[in-house]
Amino acid sequence: MTGLSLAGTTRRGNFVLHAALDAAPGEVIGVLGPNGSGKTTLLEVLAGLTPLAEGALHVGGERWDDGARHLPPRARRVGMMTARGDLFPHLSALDNVAFGLRARGASKEAARARAREELSRVGLAADLAGRRPDVLSSGQAQRVALARALTLDPSVLLLDEPLSAIDARGRDDLRALLGERLRDQQDVVTLLVTHDAVEALTLADRLVFLDGGHLSDGGTPSEVVRRPRSPFAARLVGLNLWRGHVVDGATLVTADGARITAAGGEHPPAGVLEHLAAFAPSSVSLWPSRPEGSPRNTWAVRVAQIEHTGTSARVHLTGDADLVADVTLDAVADLSLAPGVPVHATVKATEVTLYH
């Protein structure tokens, strides 16, 4: 088969990575997960730096690993870009990009000509091509690193937090460039490891989540935004997420007994044991006492913690239910919100998405 097919496990000390992933040529897979969840290990399995203990990895119809025989890194068509770029410090930008082609036997002239093309495609000014990495800005160095990764026409492109070391302004430009270059890579499977929600949601076609070495499919970015399937995914897109079972067709009850009712939309079919309910922190209203004609979703809670986020505040609440509310600073002052203060929280049923 074309594209990438991975199903296997690998160990690093006590850590075990269980990975199953199929990707089509041209697909950009965003890989997300907390620190230590196995993201780098997954990339290393694909690059051939960490062998599979069992299972198999095929790319473009070739067997790269079957748990016993491991194709060495140099024999894999893999391009890699890390947060720091990891350029060769003693080579110019141009020769960094030409290096891989030279190692494959291209003449100096041919390798440099191709490297020049790649550098112009990533927007590096021609007069910077002769400079060494230590006199390039971090954004320029990452452009060189991207050109170097793409110049070998990889089957698999591994991007390990490629923009995390760039300042915010430069990051926007580089993210746009990366998106442009990735759209051109119709034969390449790209894995993009990132902690940045905007990067994941804008650059990836599909998101996968790693948690404690277990890989799960999160769906397309719009599916994750509308219907996150894990607390980590929900935090990434800034939603409250409750897990439980559904009673009366539209009310979810959590293991702790908290209840939340959704209105409209499709209700999950009967017989499915576990359901999810998602709602935005901005849809939560706070009241000093139980509001008149209470909406169905009203909980008596206490403030656990307040984070100021510029012009608003994110209030973590606990009690009848655990949830997060985004409120204005006026509301913080009017309600004298502080840790321990009791309030009532409400959410309109129309603001709740119920799914399974």
Which positions touch ligand ATP (CB under 6 A)? 12-13, 15, 33, 35-41
Answer for the pair 7, 46: CB distance below 8 angstroms, yes or no.
no
Measured between alpha carbons, how far is 5 from 60 in angstroms, rounded to an integer? 9
Q: Given the complex with ligand ATP, which of 13 and 257 has the nearer CB atom?
A: 13
Q: Given the complex with ligand ATP, which of 35 and 186 has the nearer CB atom?
A: 35
Answer for the pair 189, 27: CB distance below 8 angstroms, yes or no.
yes
CB of 15 to ligand ATP, least distance (A): 4
CB of 286 to ligand ATP, least distance (A): 34
Measured between alpha carbons, how far is 345 from 297 in angstroms, rounded to an integer? 8
Q: Given the complex with ligand ATP, which of 36 and 249 has the nearer CB atom?
A: 36
CB of 40 to ligand ATP, least distance (A): 3
Q: Given the complex with ligand ATP, which of 41 and 155 has the nearer CB atom?
A: 41
CB of 59 to ligand ATP, least distance (A): 20
Q: What distance lies between CA 172 and its chain's CA centroid?
A: 17
Q: Given the complex with ligand ATP, which of 39 and 229 has the nearer CB atom?
A: 39
Q: Given the complex with ligand ATP, which of 41 and 251 has the nearer CB atom?
A: 41
Which string of DSSP letters, residue by residue, matches 89-132?
TTS-HHHHHHHHHHHTT--HHHHHHHHHHHHHHTT--GGGTTS-
- Spatial CA neighbour of 20 closest among 33, 9, 29: 9
CB of 60 to ligand ATP, least distance (A): 25
Nearest residue to the partner ligand ATP, using Cβ: 13
Q: Which residues contact 276 (CB under 8 A, 6 or more apart)?
A: 227, 228, 229, 241, 242, 243, 252, 354, 355, 356
Answer for the pair 286, 300: CB distance below 8 angstroms, yes or no.
no
Q: Given the complex with ligand ATP, which of 145 and 215 has the nearer CB atom?
A: 215
Tokens at residue 198, please? 């905007």
CB of 256 to ligand ATP, least distance (A): 29
From the CB of residue 322, how many other CB atoms can be counted at a distance below 10 Å?
16
CB of 100 to ligand ATP, least distance (A): 24
Measured between alpha carbons, how far is 267 from 289 in angstroms, rounded to an integer? 31
Q: Given the complex with ligand ATP, which of 37 and 190 has the nearer CB atom?
A: 37
CB of 352 to ligand ATP, least distance (A): 32
First to last CA, the chain: 32
